[in-house]
Amino acid sequence: MTDERPTVAVWKFASCDGCQLTLLDCEDEFLAIAGAVRFAHFPEVSRASVDGPYDLSIVEGSITTEEDARRIREVRTSSRRLITVGACATAGGIQALRNSAADGAYAGAVYAHPEYLSSLGTSTPIAAHVAVDLELQGCPISAGQLLEVITAELAGRRPVLPSHSVCQECKAAGTVCLPVSRGTACLGPVTRAGCGGLCPSLDRGCFGCFGPSVGANPRALTEHLLEEGTTRAEAARLFATFNVGNPVFGDQAAALSAPERQGGQP
């Protein structure tokens, strides 16, 4: 009997596997999905792998080697739909910090024998190499958002995903605004919702794990941070984390790291 279920492939590039594990952590919901689709390639689940074409490919990780660049082109060719999940796949990830460093500077600091490494000079998102049908931000991604995306793909509809900021999540949860009440440096006003305002609920400023929200104005936030006593170096480090490869955050980090311009503009 022919298995007519949609075929799904899950691919890993340069990443920690955390976003793939988010799907497995769904447990009961994952079992329901596994019954509705046929996982043709998913190394975290099984060593079995079936050649494409695939109805849907879910890609985690950034492109950091020539082999990565070749392999993602093959994945794209064999996939009807391709979605990228997580900060690595959508913005280059934490490894994109090396993009603005001197050639080999970080490798020499981390590895005893960097001469054995073979990698590209930059870490780039999947969309810099092939066409992507949907990007799902997060470090790691939200399980609820991932389930919504997969369900929408199976139903042939557009997924319902938030475009507003973490601030709205804090308001909804009744979390006191840390920047206002305590002067805590926080990226909540410019970060896409998805975490439920986790860090602010634990008295820590938002680190921007879900990348910039739609219409984010990092320059305005930076002006506020500097007025409240945050140093330029501290503000630059705040923007230069999980999503430094996203121009909205990365350009702001670079501007803050550069010598102050006339008039003290951030």
Q: For the chain, what are the domain ranges? A: 7-155, 166-257
CB atoms within 10 A of CB 50: 11
pLDDT at 262: 43
Stretch among 29-33, 127-131, 159-163 having the lowest mean pLDDT: 29-33
For the segment 8-43, what is each residue's pLDDT rounded down to a tens digit?
999 999 999 999 999 989 888 888 888 899 999 999
140 closest CA partner among 11, 40, 237, 17: 17
* Entry pTM: 0.90
For the segment 60-99, what is each residue's pLDDT rounded down to a tens digit?
999 999 999 999 999 999 999 999 999 999 999 999 988 8
Q: Give pairs for 116-121: CB < 8 Å, separation 24+.
A: 118/65, 118/66, 119/64, 119/65, 120/63, 120/64, 120/65, 120/66, 120/68, 120/69
Structure tokens at 218: 């990092």
pLDDT at 265: 60
Which phi and psi angles does 124 have, rounded to 5°?
Answer: -125, 155
CATH number (3.50.30.30, 1.10.357.10, 3.30.300.30, 3.40.50.700) of 7-155 reads 3.40.50.700
In order of 128, 168, 192, 224, the CA distances from 179 in angstroms are: 35, 14, 17, 9
The residue-averaged pLDDT of 216-223 equals 96
Computed over every residue of the chain, the mean pLDDT equals: 92
* Continuous H helices in 202-246: 218-227, 232-239
The residue-averaged pLDDT of 135-140 equals 96
User: What's the alpha-carbon Rg for the chain, to the nearest Å?
Assistant: 20
pLDDT at 68: 97
The residue-averaged pLDDT of 50-60 equals 95
The residue-averaged pLDDT of 208-235 equals 95
| Banded model confidence at residue 4, pLDDT cuts 50, 70, 90 | confident
pLDDT at 101: 79
